[in-house]
Amino acid sequence: MASLGMQPEEATVFYYGFLSSHTSEALKEYLKTGKVSGEFQGVLQDSHKLLSDIMKAEKLFGEKKEAAAPSKIALDAFGCALEVIIEHQKEFKIEDVKQLSELFKTLNNTLKELNSGKKPLTTNVEKTRMFFKRLADLMLGHLSTPEEERTSIIY
Amino acid sequence: MYLERLITQLVHKARSIRLTVTKLHELRYPTDSPLYLAKVISEISQVVEDEILNQYWTGPKSLEDFIVRVKLAIIAIRGLGAHLRFIERATTDQTPWSLIRPLEKIGEQIHPTSCFIIRPQWRYNYSLLELISAYSEAFSELLSKEKLNKALYPDNSIQQIYVMGFPNMDRLSVMMYVLFGHELGHPIEKEYFDRENKNSAEFAPKLTHMVLEALDLLKELKSLKLEQGAKYYRMITEVHRLRHQALRELICDLVCINLFGPAALFANEEYALSAGLDSVEKKPPHYPPWRYRLRTMLEEFPSDWIKHFIEKGRFNKTISKALNNKMESIRIAVEQSEDKKKLNEDAETRIAYTSLEDALPKVRQFVRQRLKKYGFQLDDLLGATNVQLLKRLENWIPPDAYINNEGDEVIGDVRSVLNVGWLQWVSAYASMPTTTDVKDQISDYFNKVDALNRLVMKAIENINLRSEWKKYELTKKEKNYVGISTQ
């Protein structure tokens, strides 16, 4: 299970898996009750941090792409996110890099608003939940495959 | 019912881990470290079980998300159970236990808050895993920090658990244990990358530019289709990965050289003998070509270092010649550049290694300073590896100590002992007799090689026992004991 590509190490896959399933659960609660209970506050902060890492790597596609210097953590996070989007391209309605950028911005802003007690749009919360649910499923899929047979859509 | 069956599976596996840990306590180990790991694994299995049961009884807000979590927890528990093999393999009868403690001591000196578990593996490889950081990351979003830390750190003084593996086939090839020096470098390469990741602006933009050039994408990227964007991202991450993995192996090689000097170079060259010197395999885990690695290692010796090593060791002409010839043969091999040509043929390796070359001077400096901070320098071997130790070996006596010109006994150190072992090997046992008229001498050759390995092992064991005795004597003096104290 220990680390043994910018295919993240196994411990990171577990981390993303648990975080995503918790985040999806937290957002389901929010959609139902309009509130995030105390037990999920930390989870939403951590998932916002994950989106921040994704955004750092997303700068590789931006205007100042050559100045972008994402860390391995950011590249790993972006890779997993990209894999989710590509696998569910129709569901997220993403055709090009510009739309991908906008999606990540939406997800990031939604979590930012939730963490600061604001009320984001319901459609955005639903989209964010969908993303994290799919990410959890993807991580579970990776871990369910024997290590020597693991591949990534990205590769 | 489905969820209840999943939870039953989880609890069953967690209990199975704890049962196995109980049985592992019946075996004997050279140190306490294996059972410490067993305790950590047992504790984690308990808190994971408790947490999932707690969430189930409280009632999850989303059943489908909770089910995913339980499945992840089951896979994690299975992984934990598999790690019990490290403990089972580290028993006294499976390891050359007299070597374990001296190697652990070097490890603990370089990495003070760690413990080491050394065990044979069937795969022909030397390896190192750090488990606490992996467990910490894997479970941090399932368990509270308090519960996780309590399970991970039953003894607050141990922050890392390193599991080192060596090929079972080479259990008694004592001189190849120098390669553990490479494994001890892995925590150091992590420290280097932790630092580098905070300053990724120093190298990452140049990498990005080279990738954009290679893909002819020095323009607006937002109009790219998703698949094209994925291709660009894929190349960026592949280049980063190749750079990272190559650099980490080179850092470990440099640690090995600074710890064990010429012995490290010879052991690596011996290991590389059966490999393609210029093979470039990109898929994970990527290793630099052996020629590249040997060149990087050789260049770590200052130009006149071997001359000083011979002079201070007062080695005779035969040994000096054998040593110089050996160094020269490696120098000739690494002067060729087939490896570099191969790396340049592929855009991804070309870009990765261009960036790596830029980082190497800083890396060398980092390694030397890091080891010096904990008491290890290449120059420690000058004079400490000497003709008196070698003479003992030549006379079939363990080279653990000698009498100096002043008539005082000088006790050797592990690093010097391994070096004299290699000097003896290089001068007398580089290869078995192969002409047909000496066929019956082959067994004799391997018996002598076996004896050489055993003498070096015995020397290391003696040095360790002396050091443990000295520590005991000092403790006795301080505590003013009468008679034998028990631990």
Contact (CB<8Å) A65/B65:
no
Q: Which is higher by pLDDT, A28 or A74?
A: A28
Share of residues in chain B with pLDDT > 90 (%): 74
* pLDDT(B428) > 90: no
Instruction: Place A4 in a pLDDT band, splitting at 50, 70 and 90.
Output: very low
- Please, which residues have CB within 8 angstroms of residue B211's CB and are 6 or more apart in sequence? B217, B232, B235, B236, B239, B351
A154 contacts on B by Cβ (under 8 Å): 230, 233-234, 237
pLDDT, chain B, mean: 92
Residue B46 one-letter amino acid: Q
| pLDDT attached to residue A64 | 81
* pLDDT(A149) > 70: no
For helices B33-58 and B2-24, angle between their N-to-C axes, nearest 10 degrees: 160
CA distance A144 to chain B (A): 7
B102-111, B254-263, B388-397: the lowest-pLDDT one: B102-111
Mean pLDDT of B250-264: 97
**The residue count for chain B:** 487
Mean pLDDT of A79-98: 93
For helices A122-144 and A10-33, angle between their N-to-C axes, nearest 10 degrees: 150
* pLDDT(A144) > 80: yes
B236 contacts on A by Cβ (under 8 Å): 60, 75
Q: How many Å apart are CA B108 and CA B114, to the nearest integer?
A: 6
User: Quick one: tokens of B85?
Assistant: 């093999």
| pLDDT attached to residue A155 | 36
Contact (CB<8Å) A1/B79:
yes
Residue B227 one-letter amino acid: E
* pLDDT(B136) > 90: yes
Instruction: Place B483 in a pLDDT band, splitting at 50, 70 and 90.
Output: low
- CA count, 13 A, side-chain hemisphere, A144: 12
* pLDDT(B97) > 50: yes
Of A57, A96, A155, the CB nearest to B224: A96
Share of residues in chain A with pLDDT > 90 (%): 69
| pLDDT attached to residue A1 | 24
* pLDDT(B120) > 50: yes
Instruction: Place B401 in a pLDDT band, splitting at 50, 70 and 90.
Output: very high
CA distance A65 to chain B (A): 8
Among chain A residues, CA nearest to B65: A21
* pLDDT(B479) > 90: no
* Helix-, strand-, coil-residue percentages of chain A, each rounded to 5: 75, 0, 25
* pLDDT(B433) > 80: no
Instruction: Place A66 in a pLDDT band, splitting at 50, 70 and 90.
Output: confident
Of B208, B220, B230, the CB nearest to A68: B208
For A89, other C-beta atoms within 10 Å of its C-beta total 14
Of B142, B220, B226, the CB nearest to A100: B226
A73 contacts on B by Cβ (under 8 Å): 197
Of B83, B203, B224, the CB nearest to A97: B224
Whose tokens are 């290890």? That residue is: B376
Chain B touched by A121 (CB under 8 Å): no
* pLDDT(B408) > 60: yes
Burial class (CB in 10 A: 0-12, 13-18, 19+), B357: exposed
For B345, other C-beta atoms within 10 Å of its C-beta total 10
A97 contacts on B by Cβ (under 8 Å): 221-226, 228-229
B135 contacts on A by Cβ (under 8 Å): 1-2, 11
Instruction: Place B339 in a pLDDT band, splitting at 50, 70 and 90.
Output: very high
- Among B237, B382, B375, CA closest to A82: B237
Contact (CB<8Å) B205/A66:
yes
Mean pLDDT of B151-164: 92
B220 contacts on A by Cβ (under 8 Å): 63
Q: How many Å apart are CA B234 and CA B239, to the nearest integer?
A: 9
Instruction: Place A154 in a pLDDT band, splitting at 50, 70 and 90.
Output: very low
* pLDDT(B278) > 50: yes
Q: How many Å apart are CA A53 and CA A64, to the nearest integer?
A: 17
Instruction: Place B171 in a pLDDT band, splitting at 50, 70 and 90.
Output: confident
Mean pLDDT of B134-142: 95
* pLDDT(B484) > 90: no
Q: pLDDT tens for residues B35-58?
A: 999 999 999 999 999 999 999 999
Q: pLDDT tens for residues B289-337?
A: 999 999 999 999 999 999 999 999 999 999 999 999 999 999 999 999 9
Contact (CB<8Å) A140/B238:
no
Mean pLDDT of B82-86: 95
Among chain B residues, CA nearest to A42: B141
Q: Which is higher by pLDDT, B459 or A73?
A: B459
User: Quick one: tokens of B359?
Assistant: 């980082």
Pairing of strands B409-411, B401-403: antiparallel
| pLDDT attached to residue B104 | 86
Contact (CB<8Å) A66/B222:
no
Burial class (CB in 10 A: 0-12, 13-18, 19+), B487: exposed
- CA count, 13 A, side-chain hemisphere, B172: 10
Burial class (CB in 10 A: 0-12, 13-18, 19+), B282: middle
Chain A, chain B: beta-carbon pairs less than 8 Å apart: 175
| pLDDT attached to residue B23 | 97
* Helix-, strand-, coil-residue percentages of chain B, each rounded to 5: 70, 5, 25
Of B82, B137, B222, the CB nearest to A97: B222
Please, which residues bridge with residue B119 across strands?
Answer: B165
| pLDDT attached to residue B147 | 96
Instruction: Place B80 in a pLDDT band, splitting at 50, 70 and 90.
Output: very high
Instruction: Place B279 in a pLDDT band, splitting at 50, 70 and 90.
Output: very high
| pLDDT attached to residue B437 | 65
Instruction: Place A5 in a pLDDT band, splitting at 50, 70 and 90.
Output: very low
User: Quick one: tokens of B298?
Assistant: 């050789």
pTM of the model: 0.90
